[in-house]
Structure 1
Amino acid sequence: MSELVRRAEEWLAQDPDPETRAELQEVLGSGDLAALQDRFETKLEFGTAGLRGELGAGPNRMNRVTVMRAAAGLARRLGPGKHVVVGYDARHKSDIFAQDSAAVLTGAGLRVSLMGHHWPTPVLAFAVRHLGADAGVMVTASHNPPRDNGYKVYWGDGAQIVPPLDEEISAAIDAVGRVDGLPLGEDWRVLTDAAIVEPYLAAVSGLPLGDARELKVVYTPMHGVGGAVLLRAFRTAGFEEPLVAEAQFTPDPDFPTVAFPNPEEPGAMDIALRLAEKVGADLVIANDPDADRCAVGVPLPDGGFRMLTGDEVGGLLGEWVIGHTSGADRLVAASIVSSSLLGRIAAAHGVRYAETLTGFKWIVKAGDGLVYGYEEALGHSVGSDQGLPVRDKDGIGAALTVAGMAAQARREGRSLLDLLDDQARRYGLHATSQLSVRVEDLSLITGAMERLRSRPPEALGGLAVLSVDDLSEGGGGLPPTDGLRYRLAGGARVIVRPSGTEPKLKCYLEVVVPAEGDVATARSQAEQALTTLKSDLSATLNL
């Protein structure tokens, strides 16, 4: 207890934030050992996703001390004279964390361009390359709960950092002393809308959108920062401005209308879907709070709407982009946990395909000639013949491209559902689902992975296991990662891996059903196969 108290008092002495100081003083005064242990016995680890965690006092929380140490570590790794772009979303304290970062970086002799407003993450990623910066920082926790915030680092190529950069920055952070001794500057450049948002809008309006524009769209930014920029993007590209879910349009760090600000969560899309039914929309589009993800909903023939999965949108966008770009060296890419459909599409069109580890830091590095990349968790990066304007997932560029695709289908008297049926007939119906198991004790996940490695199943969901790939050994050009891939009879596949950001074991399931004739029957068969597979896998995991 005395050691924890010493650490807490040292933290208090350097913390510039009166809110977290008051919080910590209350914890100390109460003698709450568990609360002290939670804040001070461990710390947020800096990795390829940067930092992300709950707001509060102590090294195991996101706060001004944690952020200033991260900025100082980044400054040490970069060195004086380098240029860093800093952006932020509208979460609690994001603007303060961004200004603290700018002060620490300029105080260390670096040049800083600070966003003049809370703008989407893809705008920051675009800005790094557009301004020729050496690195970028985005203060955001994406679609995490309201109590969280985060710190994402980009390198000069406009992509998120990958090893060994994360380890080098982490080591530099560990070497930082007290933050109240850091020199602070104040001569950073403030980026205006004209300096960075307008060039971004010009870039995404040059994506392969086709020429059809007649479309009624309903949109929600999920209380995040995408709203104003997306509306401008639609106008710039020649579309009618979408109708907005007003209750979710203004940025609000408390996300009052949703339990979790993630379009994939149950109930998160209810407001937008009700509006879409009321006005007879052709398309529903949602961004997550920092607008790097894009969710898509479509009307059903008999009324109502349904949300497309990330894999369904990935297949549609992949084929659309291939059909609206040119060049023999084009490449499309998807993460290893995404559907195998994009690979089938690429082969049919004579385009190269690459499979990467999860995360856009890997997808955008899949190779030269990349015109499209996606991951099943609603992340898409759309490019043109000139390449990717944003080397990260971009929910606004993806939204524009989906709108162009849907408008073209509407012009032809068809819908995105018809395009999905076309793909099912051509390539087989690729149906995907997930099984996620949340645990309190991370050792349960470690134990489950050890059991699977030592006693691999011979069959899952009634399908024989044809092969097992232990992804921790790398292979196939992939860096090592903790995961297992099971290839099953009939083209089915299961991947099991621990989540990199949550205490979850995540399982990604795919079945492939021939659908040359009746697609509805194939969909029913696929749904049953996924249900059986999920049930059997759950029993096998025994968590």
Structure 2
Amino acid sequence: MTVIDPHEWITADPDPHTRAELAALAPDELDERFSGTLHFGTAGLRGVVRAGPNGMNVAVVTRTTHALGRWLAGRGYGGATVVVGRDARHGSAQFAAATAEILAAAGFDVVRLPGTTPTPLIAFACRDLGAVAAVAVTASHNPPTDNGYKVYLAGGAQLIPPADREIEELIATAPPADTVARQPISPDTRARANADRYLGRLTARFGRVRSSVRVALTPMHGVGGAFAVAALERAGFSDIHVVAEQFAPDPDFPTVTFPNPEEPGAADRLLALADRVDADVAIALDPDADRCAVGARVHGSWRMLTGDETGAMFGRYLLDAATVDDPVVASTIVSGSMLAAVADAAGARHVRTLTGFKWLVRAGEPLVYAYEEAIGHCVDPVAVRDKDGISAAVVAALLTHRQVAAGSDLAAALHELATEHGLHVTAQRSVRVTDLSRIAEIMATMRDSPPTSLAGIPVTADDFADRDDELRTNAIMLSGTHGEEAIRLRVIARPSGTEPKLKYYLELVAPPGLGDVAATTDRLHALADDVLDLLPG
């Protein structure tokens, strides 16, 4: 670990506010700030906005950007185009300005997107402009205390190893932050036209309908509200109702405990609005609009669909409309298996990858759709090689339009999938820890003494760490079959890549023809609860 001298860091901190913050700390507090550094991984940096090398601040962003510039120049990209954009979180404006000005001073052709920008539009600009890299200053759906620094490389996909490790090594040798040159830049026509080109691409890709579908929408205090409304209107949807108190960007996210549509209670206001206005579909974006959650009235009550339910419906819709030969769809090892069944029925190829869109968008060509269970959907890989909540919102509305035009709804679409491919129920459990060694202990126990049954279902263990292919990772799968009905169980355990927790991903699959879907669903959910309760942690 690189040892950083606090006095030298404070002296070189170019931000007077964070210099003062560090100077005012007690000795033990100062020691904690210098006990480590933010690690450059999972496409970049993410952490609490605070002074010191293990927080998100101008000094950390400065050294990181200097390293990124050196890494790009070392690969022959000096002077090439780089895109910089940001969300509305605390610190985002300062971090984006530092990033753009440092890269400009290093000789790059910097396209600094004006104002706040949804992350998918930054990924789009990277690909659309032929940039060699793009930086999105965002912490996505993290708590309001956090911010981040996400990096895309040429082609608009997130960076992957060994690039992340190489850049982190250059960060460790970066000069003092106050010695890194900056050069002010102004937005140019490429930046101002980015949103129009993105929206134009959506129309070209998905077309336009004349629809009476009623949409309930929330951007969850993030930066995607206006863009999502514009995209839906261009696609032919005019009856749009928004959660007013969550529409304007607000870095404090005052109406939600955790600004992630997956979190319990986060979408309550959206579902209440959908019920009140009798909507046909409810759509929630996360704060940087790269994730999209869909809500529907199922069995008479509004609820948010799981990412796997939405993924299966989107996959079927997009494969129905695919015009390429041998289309490819992708999902991760922890996502549900319904998409594979949908792809097989459509004569398409399904690919499993490790978790994360940096792997999903590299699954194979011609890629027409990729998703992960954490409400991330890549519905137009030609334009955006990452998850994109805005284009996913358009697909959700178009899918709803198709159902409504046929006298049906989204609940019926789910029922059709269950009838054709069996009922797939997925669930998760997270074990949050304060001591990371606890995660290592649980994983070691599961490797050394894996359970032989769960809730009466015999299971066998497969260790992904023992694989010799592209799916080798720190994960363990338990799988088995339950009773004469041949209900399949799969549980995957893996440490989170971004948070201090162990995650369990469960799927139960009942084959087609087991009778009443609603009753079978309830039975599988009860069984899922029993299984999750038995897992260590």
TM-score by length of 1: 0.94
Q: How does 1:486-525 map to 2 (within 5 A)?
A: 486-489=478-481, 490-516=487-513, 517-525=515-523
Question: Given the alignment, which residue of 446, 452, 456 partners 2:450?
Answer: 456
Give 3-state SS (helix, strand or coil) of 1:389's partner. Answer: coil
Say whether residues 1:335 and 2:327 are aligned partners. no
Counterpart of 1:244, as a letter, is V
Aligned to 2:463: 470
Aligned to 1:483: 475
- CA shift at 1:241, angstroms? 4.9
CA distance in 1 between partners of 2:274 and 2:327 (Å): 36
Question: Given the alignment, which residue of 321, 341, 345 partners 1:344?
Answer: 341
Counterpart of 2:359, as a letter, is W
Counterpart of 2:480, as a letter, is L
CA distance in 1 between partners of 2:207 and 2:292 (Å): 16
- CA shift at 1:471, angstroms? 1.6
Say whether residues 1:70 and 2:64 are aligned partners. yes
Counterpart of 1:363, as a letter, is L
Question: Given the alignment, which residue of 287, 310, 317 partners 2:285?
Answer: 287
Give 3-state SS (helix, strand or coil) of 1:215's partner. Answer: strand
Aligned to 2:401: 407
- CA shift at 1:205, angstroms? 2.3
CA distance in 2 between partners of 1:195 and 1:76 (Å): 29
Say whether residues 1:97 and 2:95 are aligned partners. yes
Question: Given the alignment, which residue of 371, 375, 398 partners 1:374?
Answer: 371
CA distance in 1 between partners of 2:456 and 2:206 (Å): 43
Aligned to 1:359: 356
Give 3-state SS (helix, strand or coil) of 2:257's partner. Answer: coil
Say if 1:45 and 1:51, in contact at 8 Å, map to a contact too: yes
- CA shift at 1:535, angstroms? 1.5
Aligned to 1:424: 418
Say if 2:259 and 2:266, in contact at 8 Å, map to a contact too: yes
- After superposition, the C-alpha distances for 1:256-295 in whole angstroms (9 at most, x for unaligned) are 1111111111221122222212111111101000000001
**Shift in alpha-carbon separation, 1:409–1:210, aligned structure 2, 3 A:** farther
Give 3-state SS (helix, strand or coil) of 2:216's partner. Answer: strand
Give 3-state SS (helix, strand or coil) of 1:305's partner. Answer: strand
Question: Given the alignment, which residue of 324, 334, 340 partners 2:321?
Answer: 324
Counterpart of 2:183, as a letter, is G
Say if 2:208 and 2:234, in contact at 8 Å, map to a contact too: no
Counterpart of 1:469, as a letter, is D
Aligned to 1:161: 159
Give 3-state SS (helix, strand or coil) of 1:177's partner. Answer: coil
- CA shift at 1:49, angstroms? 2.7
Counterpart of 1:417, as a letter, is A
- After superposition, the C-alpha distances for 1:157-212 in whole angstroms (9 at most, x for unaligned) are 10000111111111111120101111222246446664200110111223346846
- CA shift at 1:463, angstroms? 1.5
CA distance in 2 between partners of 1:36 and 1:290 (Å): 32
Q: How does 1:22-421 map to 2 (within 5 A)?
A: 22-27=20-25, 30-31=26-27, 33=28, 35-79=29-73, 80-187=78-185, 189-190=187-188, 194-208=192-206, 211=209, 213-302=211-300, 304-383=301-380, 387-421=381-415
Say if 2:459 and 2:479, in contact at 8 Å, map to a contact too: yes
CA distance in 2 between partners of 1:502 and 1:191 (Å): 39
CA distance in 2 between partners of 1:76 and 1:66 (Å): 16
**Shift in alpha-carbon separation, 1:461–1:506, aligned structure 2, 3 A:** same
CA distance in 1 between partners of 2:163 and 2:186 (Å): 25
Counterpart of 1:126, as a letter, is F
CA distance in 2 between partners of 1:227 and 1:243 (Å): 11
Give 3-state SS (helix, strand or coil) of 1:512's partner. Answer: strand
Give 3-state SS (helix, strand or coil) of 2:238's partner. Answer: coil
CA distance in 1 between partners of 2:357 and 2:295 (Å): 23
Give 3-state SS (helix, strand or coil) of 1:441's partner. Answer: coil
Say if 1:116 and 1:191, in contact at 8 Å, map to a contact too: no
Segments of 5+ residues of structure 2 without an aligned counterpart are 482-486
Segments of 5+ residues of structure 1 without an aligned counterpart are none
Say if 2:114 and 2:192, in contact at 8 Å, map to a contact too: no
Say if 2:213 and 2:239, in contact at 8 Å, map to a contact too: no
- After superposition, the C-alpha distances for 1:86-128 in whole angstroms (9 at most, x for unaligned) are 0100001101101101111111121211011201000000000
- CA shift at 1:213, angstroms? 2.0
Give 3-state SS (helix, strand or coil) of 1:528's partner. Answer: helix
Say if 1:212 and 1:407, in contact at 8 Å, map to a contact too: no
- CA shift at 1:327, angstroms? 2.8
Say if 2:112 and 2:191, in contact at 8 Å, map to a contact too: no
CA distance in 2 between partners of 1:509 and 1:191 (Å): 48
- CA shift at 1:300, angstroms? 3.8
- After superposition, the C-alpha distances for 1:301-328 in whole angstroms (9 at most, x for unaligned) are 53x4111000000000000100011233
- CA shift at 1:473, angstroms? 3.1
- Greater mean alpha carbon deviation, residues 158-167 or residues 261-270: 261-270
Counterpart of 2:464, as a letter, is L
- After superposition, the C-alpha distances for 1:209-238 in whole angstroms (9 at most, x for unaligned) are 684622001100000000111111011112
Counterpart of 1:499, as a letter, is S
Q: How many residues align?
A: 526
CA distance in 2 between partners of 1:510 and 1:209 (Å): 35
CA distance in 2 between partners of 1:511 and 1:191 (Å): 52
